[in-house]
């Protein structure tokens, strides 16, 4: 019998890994991309849409759900799965990233972080324990520890002190929710900014805590692609091989493939859904900006190689019209396509690792996205 947190490595292709992670709501096949459902909904899509496109797991944002509708209200509804009618696994972040990135932070101390609500300006406090309590109320399958996400450009001294506090917070989270409790598993988060030795230090400290998986935080915060890939390739191979590795908040198709190449198993990012709403669409031929005038009379599908509802039923001319008219259906059809594209890419990634052709697949996407 498989238990939540069980991680089975099936095969590798270079550093790329093909594995299965068990959660309380079923298994997920990795490498995997997790669509972001910030407020208990992947914007514009229904749970049925997500099932159709074979989304195996979605992400919920602790910060947003805590503020609205409130984690206790969600708990009284039986948790986020029942509330949002989503039957597959859910990962929740700790709220840390939003607190730091939305610049709503008021006071940071060893105890935790005080911040203001982006909705009404009211004052709130997240301790590591509180962040876990909220995630327990939400009932996610995978919980993340509270961490400080250091911004790009932070100096070595600040970064080192911060990662050490993040380690102490991680310990408090694990103590507050011991392994094996309630089916909810917990991942630690490696910080350390853009200092390789500090990344190693963070990882070494976190290894001593009994987490079911490890994430890489603090990337995609303003650095160059080269800097990101540098850290990624340095730290990922050092992470425990027998546990899932999650690269948080990343990224473009090429970033994700680079992550897979470095040995990452899990990804999430708002990019495909947010870009969809801005009319930027990912296709097998590269990015398409649907608002461009050249598409006004283009009767071809967005991506001839794509089997999604959008590509099977509508032309670029119609998609452009919907976008220009700011129609609600535009957000929906575009989001459907972009997430389908990402999930289909991951399916190809998994197949390619299985048959040893991942490098070839990666080169194909790099050719399509060479102009980026």
- Rounded Cα gap, residues 285 and 361, in angstroms: 14
**Known active-site residue 344:** no
Query: Does residue 328 interact with a second copy by CB under 8 A?
Result: yes
Choosing from 9, 43, 111, 347, the residue that interacts with a second copy (CB under 8 A) is 43
Subset of residues 286 to 305 that bind a second copy, contact rule: CB under 8 A: 296-297, 299
Minimum distance between the CB of residue 85 and a second copy, rounded to whole angstroms? 5
Compute the least distance from the CB of residue 131 to a second copy, in Å: 21
Is 197 annotated in the active site? no
Q: Residue 313 interacts with a second copy (CB under 8 A)?
A: yes
Distance CA 252, CA 245 (A): 18
* Token digits of residue 290: 């649907």
DSSP, collapsed to helix, strand or coil, labels residue 345 as helix
Residue 117 is a binding residue for a second copy (CB under 8 A): no
127 phi and psi angles, rounded to 5 deg: -95, 165
Task: Decide whether 282 or 318 has the Cβ nearer to a second copy.
Answer: 318
Residue found by looking up tokens 């509270």 in the block: 146
Do 50 and 42 meet the contact criterion of CB atoms below 8 Å apart?
A: yes
Is the CB of 336 or the CB of 365 nearer to a second copy? 336
Catalytic residue among 13, 71, 93, 255: 93
Query: Does 321 contact a second copy by CB under 8 A?
Result: yes
The contact pattern for a second copy, residues 216-255, with x = CB under 8 A and - = no contact, is ----------------------------------------
State the binding site for substrate: 93-97, 147, 191, 218
Cis-peptide into 69, omega within 30 deg = yes
* Residues near 191 by beta carbon (within 8 Å), at least 6 away in sequence: 147, 148, 149, 150, 159, 162, 163, 166, 198, 199, 202, 217, 218
Q: Which helix (H) or strand (E) holds 26?
A: strand 26-30
Q: Which of 333, 339, 345, 361 binds a second copy (CB under 8 A)?
A: 333
Considering only residues 23 to 42 of the shown chain, the ones binding a second copy according to CB under 8 A are: 39-41
Residue placing its CB nearer to a second copy in the complex, 325 or 367: 325
State the catalytic residue, choosing from 133, 141, 255, 268.
Answer: 268
d(Cα 104, Cα 119) in Å, to the nearest integer? 11
Cβ closer to a second copy: 41 or 101? Answer: 41
In the complex with a second copy, the residue whose CB is nearer, 43 or 364, is: 43
DSSP 36: B
Q: Does 181 bind a second copy (CB under 8 A)?
A: no
The alpha carbon dihedral of 177, 178, 181, 185 has a sign of positive
CB atoms inside a 10 Å sphere around CB 282: 27
Can you give the length of the chain in residues?
Answer: 372
List Cα–Cα distances, 47 to 50, 54, 57, 83, 273, in angstroms. Answer: 5, 10, 11, 12, 15
Interface of this chain with a second copy, residues 50 to 109, rule: CB under 8 A: 68-69, 73, 76-77, 83-85
Annotated binding site: 93-97, 147, 191, 218, 306, 308, 311, 337
Residue range at the interface with a second copy (CB under 8 A); choices 146-154, 205-213, 214-222, 321-329: 321-329
Tokens at 132, concatenated: 């876990």
Distance in angstroms (rounded) separating the CA atoms of residues 189 and 206: 8
Sites of contact with a second copy (CB under 8 A): 39-41, 43-48, 68-69, 73, 76-77, 83-85, 296-297, 299, 309, 313-315, 317-318, 320-322, 324-325, 327-329, 331-333
Q: Which residues are catalytic?
A: 93, 268
């Amino acid at each position: 019998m498989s238990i939540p947190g069980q991680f089975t490595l099936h095969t590798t292709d270079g550093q790329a890994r093909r594995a299965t992670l068990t959660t309380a709501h079923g298994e997920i096949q990795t490498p995997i991309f997790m669509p972001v459902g910030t407020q208990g909904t992947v914007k514009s899509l229904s749970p049925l849409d997500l099932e159709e496109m074979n989304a195996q797991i979605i992400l919920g944002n602790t910060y947003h759900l805590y503020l609205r509708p409130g984690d206790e209200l969600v708990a009284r509804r039986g948790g986020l799965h029942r509330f949002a009618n989503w039957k597959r696994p859910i990962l929740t972040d700790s709220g840390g990233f939003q607190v730091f990135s939305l610049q709503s932070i008021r006071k940071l101390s060893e105890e935790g972080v005080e911040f203001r609500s982006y909705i009404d300006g009211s004052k709130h406090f997240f301790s590591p324990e509180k962040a876990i309590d909220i995630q327990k109320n939400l009932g996610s399958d995978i919980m993340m520890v509270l961490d400080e996400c250091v911004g790009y450009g932070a100096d070595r001294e600040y970064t080192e002190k911060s990662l050490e506090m993040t380690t102490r917070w991680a310990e408090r989270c694990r103590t507050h929710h011991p392994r094996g409790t309630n089916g909810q598993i917990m991942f630690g988060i490696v910080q350390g900014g853009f200092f390789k030795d500090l990344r190693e230090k963070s990882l070494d400290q976190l290894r001593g805590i009994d987490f079911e998986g490890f994430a890489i935080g603090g990337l995609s915060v303003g650095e160059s692609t080269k800097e990101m890939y540098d850290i990624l390739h340095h730290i990922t191979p050092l992470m425990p091989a027998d546990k899932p590795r999650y690269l948080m908040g990343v990224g473009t198709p090429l970033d994700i493939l680079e992550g897979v190449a470095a040995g990452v198993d899990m990804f999430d990012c708002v990019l495909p859904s947010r870009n969809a709403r801005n009319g930027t669409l990912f296709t097998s031929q590269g990015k398409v900006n649907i608002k461009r005038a050249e598409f006004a009379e283009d009767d071809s599908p967005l991506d001839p190689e794509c089997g999604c509802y959008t590509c099977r039923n509508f032309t670029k001319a119609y998609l452009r019209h919907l976008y220009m008219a700011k129609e609600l259906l535009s957000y929906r059809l575009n989001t459907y396509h972009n997430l389908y594209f990402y999930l289909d890419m991951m399916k190809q990634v998994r197949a390619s690792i299985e048959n040893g052709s991942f490098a070839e697949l990666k080169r194909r996407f790099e050719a399509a996205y060479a102009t980026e």
